[in-house]
Structure 1
């Protein structure tokens, strides 16, 4: 009950507090960073907290520092990214990304994971598009697997990874879209290709202060040699399908109580949403909306292994419907998400309530 009281109190303070201070805020010049904070809740696992800090002019230069975390009662993960966004004034610019992710996934999967990558890049930028070509150098590890299901215990160990990547993003005719691909190998008995694509479109009706939009995302892994580990496969992020936890749907080992997520080699999700500001006359800053999310994560390369072949990796539909309530305070925005996952599997992990805070500075 205390967890629910925390969520309820935050909603009351964030959405019904006076707005006088927000009106006095000086938004200043172009924003160079953002701060995001989220609190989630479900009836089985209780509360979870996530946050992200990003600065795009770190130390006064054209470089990005990005730090994020996810913490629940039994698990936690952290990620850190440093990116130099371009050296010189020509086209292409030369950039690099250094990233590190560590995760305690004992509660759901019975493992710990780490991933470190260095990506030198050539960036070709135009007014409405951006193309990035990169080399990939990485090291990852899966450890502390004593409590994991057999398929994840077999993935224990460290690897050095190498590859090439390509990323293209553009905005045209109201659409924002992107496509990225990677070819990865460990130089021995592993090689695969990974492809992901995203697209979004939003229509605004200024007279009624209404917005309607759609978001789509999909990805696939094609195995050329060897077999993937959970660090390679797709684990849905928080918000990929509202109403589901991060990694909360997709192939799972049903022999473990409540099901242990193992990751997928394919996914596809779609979201339809609408929101309107000023529905309640006494609170004109409040925006109320609705959404329908649907999708699936499926596929698990078994490579002839009996334990891996036993995983249910079917493309089972997941879907949720819900309500969003949001309010802006100058450069900050608070959003409450109430989701009802009306189509899910017994091994899925649900998250019915989410509170998000974002701010740009």
Structure 2
């Protein structure tokens, strides 16, 4: 009885995955044929009192007998002996196995499989050796297992499939080295990336293919197909796209939306994928009647009704319902009703396409959180994860709060995988919340390039650690330079001071300019401490303390405005200020995903050297909305500011300019200006107001190109200049003289950064203003 896993003794074997299994099958067939040839002999019983083992070098006799499991002196049938033979052959340790009965002695002859001296990968350029080793189980020093080698070849091919290289081929090659040792090489033919050539939809009526493609994480291959990493077919990404598409429709009131199927077809040339989402949109529903009810006796519904922020006629969306459930449960907690839950009960009215919502107070299960177990975090401290929970040990188990905590943990960006699951604790009324996380790198070193028509090419380098010392703190150091200006900054952020929703920020910044669109130099150093906290669902308040030191140098009295010379004569000026900023922002996080607004008010009260006192106030009101089936985005933004100084005059480093606030004008190209100076210096103003209006829309180009168009109009002015006591000829430019500009924009979202081309024309200006009809801006990091 004999079997061998080696087909032929050759010095070099080159196989595709699966050949080793073919060899094993051939060996098994040979064993069957041998058994059939000696069937008369095998019909008798065997009884062995001794065993003789030959050929083994590394594997000892007892190990081989352990695989055979043949009791000495016990009668064996031919079938029993055959099973013993199979056990030894299938141990994965031997290339050949032979059983030879010699009376009461069983001779077992083996040829051991060789030991692997070295595992190498050849032909891989797109994926490193280290990345491939993570999916390969065969390692140097182990016994060669043909089946495992085949499995490793399949795993390598799958790794390439995940990178979009579906044509990759992997061939294992065995090279004998003598002394029963071999080298193993995986020859890899990577092939080309198989890109997604088309993403299409069937069944969509409310939204165009272009709009739905913007929802998906997967993208079509476009102009920058070499740089884009999301235009290759990855099954996990398609699953994510399913969820993104579903969330998109549900948030817009399509309660019956479903994805019937997702089909992926490879082109005949195997160089592209065609993916089709077959969907059923259903009808859009809006909120009908809204009411609050209770199944618990003795509850006053008035405080709960006051917290409802759901109105009839708005688009029905699960996120809006969840937000109102959260509000009402918070009221119950404040009243000491720890186990009260809010159950939304929905009644559909298909005739008028509305959903009546009844928020019902019910008695929840009396299950208490016994403990929260956190596993997988080797660097991140437990408290960083734990503070994402609104619940703690001893609080009632609320499934909604557990889901929200899981989302907050994922949003930290510290973990590649987060699993949060409650399970029964030590008693029926106790629960343990298991949190399993998998950490990922949180530090980054970035280099950047920027360009603007008015400032030229700039460079930047920055280092950031988002999870400093595992405490969830953020520390960043950045340096940037553009012609005429250099800046370096250090920022530290503690997002949860005292483990509460208190964000503390400390910043140091130094900036110097030299002939930066002006004929003088500046140096400014700033130290800033700020603390912010939420005051409403979408509102946040920040308080801050700031120390600032600046000076003006390099001004030539023969060419520069006397007003700037006075600022230079003041030397270094230090200022100390206390301020606050209130922000109410619903953009991207409000109840309606198609619209949002921002309201902001900021004030700083301070004193400077020389006993000057100031009050700086800025305000902003912005609104944006998507119209025409979300194909067009409309934006309106109004900003204004005022600086009030007492005990002295303002300096040029303190006043307002319209840089970045109005298109169609150069940097410091508008506002109060000394027309008597040789270079007509821009002096800035103590008040400004600007209104910006913009529309962004598709140009009919494929979505994967990332090109959209826009039109805009800006109206505003900066004005007001306190008395300097010097003979300054403002040429009538000190009053409120409105400027206006309009133009068209081209937006290009590229892998190297967003580009914006503005073609503008000043509709209203002063003779001394400096206009700019074209601007290109780009900021990228890599």
What band does the TM-score fall into relative to the shorter chain?
0.7 to 0.9
Summarize the alignment of residues 34-113 of structure 1 with structure 2, pairs less than 5 Å apart.
Answer: 37-40=450-453, 48-49=456-457, 57=465, 60=468, 61-71=473-483, 76-86=484-494, 88=497, 89-105=499-515, 108=518, 110-113=519-522
8 Å Cα contact 1:58-1:65 kept in structure 2: no
Structure 2 CA distance for partners of 1:196 and 1:122, relative to 1, 3 Å: same
Q: C-alpha distance in 1, partners of 2:609/2:710?
A: 50
Q: Deviations over 1:66-107 (max 9, x none)?
A: 544443xxxx12333322222633243432121222112365
Instruction: Quote the RMSD (CA, aligned, Å).
Output: 3.2
1:151 is matched with 563
Change (3 A) 1:282 1:176: closer
Quick one: distance in 2 between partners of 1:52 and 1:199? 31
Larger RCO (CA under 8 A, 6+ residues apart): 1
Alignment of 1:1-361 (within 5 A): 18-21=223-226, 23-25=228-230, 37-40=450-453, 48-49=456-457, 57=465, 60=468, 61-71=473-483, 76-86=484-494, 88=497, 89-105=499-515, 108=518, 110-125=519-534, 128-146=538-556, 147-156=559-568, 157-172=571-586, 174-205=596-627, 207=629, 209-237=631-659, 239-257=660-678, 259-280=680-701, 285-302=706-723, 305-308=725-728, 310=730, 312-330=733-751, 332-359=753-780
CA contact (8 A) 2:561 2:680 kept: no
Q: In 2 relative to 1, CA 52–346 (structure 1 residues): closer, same or farther, beyond 3 Å?
A: farther
Q: Distance in 2 between matches of 1:355 and 1:263?
A: 24
In the comparison of the two structures, how many residue pairs are matched? 333
Q: TM-score, normalised by structure 2?
A: 0.39
CA distance in 1 between counterparts of 2:463 and 2:623 reads 26
Q: Secondary structure of the equivalent of 2:664?
A: coil
TM-aligned CA distance change 1:106 to 1:357, over 3 Å = closer
Shift of 1:163: 1.6
Given the superposition, is the C-alpha separation of residues 351 and 51 from structure 1 closer, same or farther in structure 2, using an over 3 Å criterion? Answer: farther
Task: Compute the displacement of 1:319 (Å).
Answer: 1.1
Larger-Rg structure: 2
Which piece of structure 1 moves more, 344-353 or 290-299?
344-353
Structure 2 unaligned residues grouped into runs of 5+ = 1-221, 238-409, 414-441, 591-595
* Alpha-carbon displacement from aligned partner over 1:155-204 (angstroms, at most 9, x marks no partner): 11111211211122221461122221111212533111100112221111
**How far 1:289 moved relative to its partner?**
0.9
Unaligned 5+ residue runs, structure 1? 1-16, 42-46
Moved more, 239-248 or 76-85: 76-85
Q: Which moved more, 1:92-101 or 1:61-70?
A: 61-70
SS in 1 for 2:564: helix
Q: CA deviation at 1:359?
A: 4.5
Alpha carbons of structure 1 residues 256 and 308: separation in structure 2 relative to 1, 3 Å: closer
Deviations 1:231-255 (A, max 9, x none): 1111222x31111122221111011
TM-score by length of 1: 0.81
Give the whole-Å Cα distance in 1 for the aligned partners of 2:602 and 2:565.
30
Change (3 A) 1:316 1:161: same
Q: 1:351: Cα distance to partner?
A: 2.1
Q: Could you say which structure has the higher strand fraction?
A: 1
